[in-house]
Chains A and B, each alone.
Chain A
Amino acid sequence: DGGITQSPKYLFRKEGQNVTLSCEQNLNHDAMYWYRQDPGQGLRLIYYSQIVNDFQKGDIAEGYSVSREKKESFPLTVTSAQKNPTAFYLCASSSDRRGTGELFFGEGSRLTVL
């Protein structure tokens, strides 16, 4: 089945450590996105990529980094510079051949900093 796979589902990290969240899609979508969701809040855009080897900052990119070396993969690194990293992270993809407002989301990764 086509879809988006995020891993790990749950992750615990000590302060000062970097952590990388995986996102893989087999939908052949051009664009991929990372959103952050805090309890009771909406989704805020961290980074997005419309094409391989290119990505753009979203609204809250500070303390995060990404890469897009393959069309299928868009990993997110939460660095020690991110002041409040505990959150639910959602990866999404879309076919950007036309703007349809439709994103396909993974099941999310819940990061807790101890």
Chain B
Amino acid sequence: GQSLEQPSEVTAVEGAIVQINCTYQTSGFYGLSWYQQHDGGAPTFLSYNALDGLEETGRFSSFLSRSDSYGYLLLQELQMKDSASYFCAVRASSGATNKLIFGTGTLLAVQP
């Protein structure tokens, strides 16, 4: 089967740093994406890692280790507006397709 595992909930305070981990087991692997979803809203794309290493985009960074089937999303200088669900997603098919397999999501609560 194919599975992605993330913690179900994470709590942190404003201004802090939080790391959301994702481990995956899929039949194929071509990249790991991260999405943010506020309650009842549309998921929005945050980052994509196809190669090992760290990608930085403003306050958010994403890391991938293909040998460990593991990645994480790092959120720095947390703000209240960062309270949302975060999903990792694997691009498991070759070719020019963005068909993704999603994890069950991590609910991040940022406290004052």
Please give the residue numbers on chain A whose beta carbons come within 8 Å of chain B beta carbons, in ascending order: 31, 33, 35, 40-45, 48, 50, 58, 88, 90, 94, 96-108
Complex contact A101–B100 (CB within 8 A): yes
Complex contact A31–B98 (CB within 8 A): yes
Q: A101-B48, A102-B48 are in contact. Are A42 and B98 (CB under 8 A)?
A: no
Fill in one digit per residue for B4-16: 1 if any A CB lies within 8 Å of its CB, else 0: 1000000000000
Closest Cβ neighbor of B97 among chain A residues: A96
Fill in one digit per residue for B82-112: 1 if any A CB lies within 8 Å of its CB, else 0: 0000010101000111111111110000000
Cα A40 to Cα B103 in complex, Å, equals 11
Q: List the A side residues contacting B44 at CB < 8 Å.
A: 105
Complex contact A90–B42 (CB within 8 A): yes
Cα A94 to Cα B103 in complex, Å, equals 19
Closest Cβ neighbor of A6 among chain B residues: B42
Which of B42, B87, B97, B101 is in CB contact (< 8 Å) with A99?
Answer: B97
Q: A44-B102, A45-B99, A96-B96 are in contact. Are A101 and B43 (CB under 8 A)?
A: no
Does B58 touch A at the CB level, under 8 Å? Answer: no
Of the candidates B40, B42, B102, the one having the most CB atoms from chain A within 10 angstroms of its own CB is B42
Within the complex, what minimum Cβ distance (angstroms) separates B7 from chain A?
Answer: 13
Q: A42-B103, A101-B48, A102-B33 are in contact. Are A90 and B43 (CB under 8 A)?
A: yes
Q: List the A side residues contacting B42 at CB < 8 Å.
A: 90, 105-108
Which of A43, A101, A104 is in CB contact (< 8 Å) with B91?
Answer: A101
